[in-house]
Chains A and B, each alone.
Chain A
Amino acid sequence: MSGDPLFANGLNLAVWVILVVKVVAVFAIVLLSVLFMIMYERKVIARLGVRYGPNRAGPNGWLQSLADGTKLLFKEAFTPKGADKVVYKIAPYLMLLPALIAFAIVPLGGHITIAHHTTELQLADPQWGILFLLMTSGVAVYGVMMAGWSSGSKYPLLGSVRASAQMVSYEAVLGLTTATAVLVTGSLHTSAIVAAQHGGFLYHWNIIHTAVIPFILFSVAITAEMTRAPFDLVEAEEEISGGYNLEYSSVDFAWFYLAEYAALITNSAIIITLWLGGPDGPRIAGHSIGPVWFIIKMLVVLYIFVWIRATLPRLRYDQLMDLGWKRMIPAALAMLMIIAGFQATTTTSGSGIAHYLAERKWGFLAIVASVLLYALLTRAIEVGKQATGLDDPTDAHHKVGGQI
């Protein structure tokens, strides 16, 4: 990749101005889309509950989140007596920052020419590209931990312990599935990942190239990473009353709320970038309308997130950990191995089924190995259950939830 054509002729004033405009634009996009997303979620979840949702403030209620946010900012910023005040004040920003900056690596589609300077519709296209996402979601865990710990209160601490354990567990899946996407693309650049999926609606997208499963694993993992339903036991109000941000109010709480939804926006954009072809889509009347396709895909992905929230019940902690460690990480590992195997395809002359298998021998070997290892793992889990006496089959109906 040559990088952004903006920097082709070195830096001058115009380039700097364009850069600043882009930074401000991306910042504004994230903040405005948060306002939009809160309303979108409330309206969609209302419709999934046979209701209308908020429809009073502003045109058809779309300014409700703005009104709520304004009200929130004017509330008293309360700090508990037992709080570690410095950490308590830093935590929301440590949460907000990663959520905001992760959007910088999302390619929105195509190029734009401002005053003879062509630039990509993407704020940053660093060499480490998609690793930036893993980095930001890793940093967000610190925000959660610091918020829960510094509140000087029991329930936020429990919430933050849950949240950080959950986020760290599912980050492994996130990394492994991201690696599969990177494998089929051969680049960490988000722009390269999008370019590789270009041309042909759906057919060239990574979701097809990686046989759907890593996409599902990635989506589930990123849902858990955001502690969204059904993985929102972090904020289980029946058990721990509110989660790590329980003691926060006013601006600080607003940052948490903002961060939560900014992360949702960013992660949906990342899902689209990695798996759903980014801004790729059919041209309309000969014009490439990348950003429009991007927005349409965003709306669909966000709708599905809300749909999941409206449908699935919250997981128990043991179910969450079972799903993460015993199901998803092995599955992600197996998919990484299989896709790596198929990437190692050798091209030889010949024909016939034997030749077809021989060319892809590493891929099929990986499938066989994965099945064997998965059987071994399942057996190991069974042996473990029997040895510890947990989940005794004769006692199964006494359990509340059972297996996932």
Chain B
Amino acid sequence: MSGLSNLVPRQLRGFVVTGKLPFKPKVTVQYPEEKRPKPERFHGRHVLNRYEDGMEKCIGCELCAGVCPAKCIYVRGADNPPDRPVSPGERYGFVYEINFLRCIHCDMCVEACPTEAITESKLFEFSFASRSDAIYTKAELLVDDDGLPQQLPWEDWKPGDDRNTSGWVRATSPAGDASSEGRAMWSGELGYGVRRPQRGQSDPSGADYPADTDISLRETLSGALRGIGVDDKRPDRGED
């Protein structure tokens, strides 16, 4: 409290605090029209990735289905047809279904996948109205020829919202070597290429990857908090 509010009786100073608030910028985000940037590792709906040449990454190994704690993934592998191979190996994912009524977006399928075939996007606005819509088939999960996710009729996202798709990150090297810290990479994304490496935990500037989205999010929040009188700075108590 400083300045004019010292003149207000102690019991009424609360009115000064609340009286200032209508003139502060609002913290509310007008959701459908404006969207808050998503955290870097947001777990949205899955996509099935493809290689640059259009081959599918999935080899039908069913590790994702095995590791899934919600038992929402159903995979059946099949041998690649020799004349028209679907994936570069021996086998490919013949059936691939994810039941989003059960999926808890834990990301374990992504960690289990040996070929980075399945990743989680940041897309989360899929308000399906029937059970059959909730079960995403391979045709729906697979990215298109440009490596971008398909927008299904019941999904509410605008062009560009998929920019931040595919949020998988390798925090350490596959071998678990600590010296690789700071060099761990994002997985490659067909539509948008490869991102910068993540910072290591011993980096003094913080463990978080300082993505633009994160910074703007933090600024929005801290600005709002400062607006209502919550400040991270300690009050100056002088020399005593």
Structural contact, A47 and B21, CB atoms closer than 8 A: yes
Structural contact, A50 and B27, CB atoms closer than 8 A: yes
CB-CB nearest in chain A for B24: A50
Q: List A contacts of B224 (CB < 8 A).
A: 50
Known contacts A307-B15, A307-B18, A312-B14; is-contact A50 B227 (Cβ 8 Å): yes
CB-CB nearest in chain B for A44: B22
Residue numbers of B with Cβ under 8 A of A are 14-15, 17-19, 21-22, 24-28, 30, 224, 227-228
Q: How far is the CB of A216 from chain B (nearest CB, A)?
A: 12
**A to B contact number (C-beta, < 8 Å):** 33
Pick the contact of B228: A44, A50, A52, A307 (CB < 8 A): A50
Knowing that A48-B22, A52-B28 touch, tell me 13 more A-B residue pairs with CB under 8 angstroms: A47-B21, A48-B21, A50-B24, A50-B25, A50-B27, A50-B227, A51-B28, A52-B26, A307-B15, A307-B19, A311-B15, A311-B17, A312-B14
Judge whether A310 is part of the interface by a CB distance below 8 angstroms. yes
Structural contact, B18 and A48, CB atoms closer than 8 A: yes
* A51 and B30 alpha carbons, distance in the complex (Å): 10
CB-CB nearest in chain B for A313: B14
26 interchain pairs, CB-CB under 8 A: A44-B22, A47-B21, A47-B26, A48-B18, A48-B21, A48-B22, A49-B21, A50-B21, A50-B24, A50-B25, A50-B26, A50-B224, A50-B227, A50-B228, A51-B26, A51-B27, A52-B26, A52-B28, A307-B15, A307-B19, A310-B18, A311-B14, A311-B15, A311-B17, A311-B18, A312-B14
Which chain A residues numbered 24 to 75 have a C-beta less than 8 Å away from chain B? Answer: 44, 47-52, 55
Q: List B contacts of A307 (CB < 8 A).
A: 15, 18-19
* A44 and B19 alpha carbons, distance in the complex (Å): 11
Q: Which 9 A-B pairs have the closest CB atoms?
A: A47-B22, A311-B18, A311-B14, A52-B28, A51-B28, A48-B18, A50-B27, A310-B18, A311-B15
Interface string of A130-174 (1 = CB under 8 A from B): 000000000000000000000000000000000000000000000
Q: List A contacts of B25 (CB < 8 A).
A: 50
* A310 and B15 alpha carbons, distance in the complex (Å): 9
